[in-house]
Amino acid sequence: PSPPAPRKRVHDTAPRHVPDMLVGFRAELAGRSIVYSADTCFNPEVLDQLEERGILSAERKASLCSDCSVQPADLLLHEAGVPPTHTPISALAALPESIRRNVRLIHMSDERAAGSGFAKVRPGLEHTICIDAEPPRHAEAKQILQILQATDLFRSFDVASACDVLACIVPRSYTAGAIICRAGEAGPALLRIVRSGAVQYAGISGATRTLGYCDYFGEGEVMLTDGRHRATATAMTDVEMLEIERGDVQYLLRRRPQLLHRIQQRAQLLDHAPSWAAIGANSVFASFSMSQVTQLQSVMREETVRCGDVVWKKGKEVCDSVLVGDAELAFRELPDASGVSDEDLEPFRAGALLVNVYALEQRLPHEMTLTAVTAGTIFRIASADLFELLDHNPGAFIWMRDALVVC
């Protein structure tokens, strides 16, 4: 019989510093391991003192010294902040060579790291540390499925549909500097999903984005028939891509009219300057990856308002949120409220997101009437679409959870 496939295991290492907020871990795959200390203070001298005072048992102290934040691993990412609440460099320097050679420092300044004798972890995908491990069986298929699950196009597919997608996908590589497609030129209509690397995406509207893992593009070409690319995509690094031809994409979506409608709507917005301007003017949405912007644009419903139009009416049920385009909005009753400052009376302009997550969840009525101060465009996001978006983007939910306006 075939040997069992390598299993992935993750263990909590129970940090002692800020224990209610941070958790260290050990991750194992195919016999290789990574330990992440989190914000954990490792100091054997202090642990000896705690044992002498009867606060720690000998067994607990031994565990904290040998199998928690510090333990044999192929990569040991350990904090080394300012003592005494953080791990002193001297404690890490005293470790056996077999452990010490795999230590990389986190949570400390470049200046302190320079004289420590240890390498410091550098931020950014380009500085990713890779630990080679024997790939488990079906590793490539599993990775592709994980990428598909991370996109709004395919995450709802069942097993049979996912098998269809796997049969259609063609992996392709591009070297750094290569032009993947050029705006206005004729070429094959492909849906492209970034598997690794970074791609510069410049749309006809002038908006430029950096695409990374799981971001996709080409849906405009797939939905249209003129055979010309709608953006220039350039490989910023060596890039691995997953590509699906137009006919295969349309076959996959034919039985999913709602999903097809979203993609068509998104394709129409790719070069739509007002939607890009509104997203770029919002502090939360501006930091979204291309795949997150894609999800957002697919649920934005553009609406033209005239001066004096009612966007939300007091007493009506809260059923959507509003992202302001080039219009200006204001609450009608706000000038008569007590304790209102001049700043509060400023109208909501481009990029302001008016959202009340609690009211949406509880289906509460609007407390004030929102009207258009100037003519222009706004974008509505229905409550169901917003909650689906937040389910897949928890960082955005944290920003919106207790806010009424996110500018």
pLDDT value of position 21? 47
pLDDT value of position 6? 44
Helical axes 257-269 vs 246-253, angle rounded to 10°: 130
**Cβ atoms within 10 Å of 397's Cβ, excluding its own:** 15
Q: Are strands 310-312 and 370-374 parallel, antiparallel or unpaired?
A: antiparallel
Closest Cα to residue 197, out of 172, 218, 221?
Answer: 172
386, burial (CB in 10 Å: exposed 0-12, middle 13-18, buried 19+): buried
Residue with tokens 């195919």: 30
Q: Are strands 405-406 and 328-331 parallel, antiparallel or unpaired?
A: unpaired
* Polymer length in residues for the chain: 407
Distance CA 83, CA 89 (A): 9
**Whether 349 contacts 301, CB under 8 Å:** no
Please provide residue 90's backbone torsions phi and psi, each rounded to the nearest 5 degrees: -60, -35
Distance CA 271, CA 311 (A): 26
Residues whose CB is less than 8 angstroms from the CB of residue 386 and which lie 6 or more positions away in sequence, other chains included: 299, 320, 321, 355, 360
pLDDT value of position 285? 83
- pTM of full prediction above 0.85: no
Instruction: Give the Cα-Cα-Cα angle 97, 99, 102 (nearest 5 degrees).
Output: 105
Strand partners, 258: none
Walking along the chain (407 residues) 10 residues at a time, the average pLDDT comes out as: 44 47 78 88 84 87 81 91 84 90 89 86 85 83 88 81 89 95 87 93 76 86 76 94 90 77 68 77 81 81 93 94 93 73 78 90 91 94 89 79 64
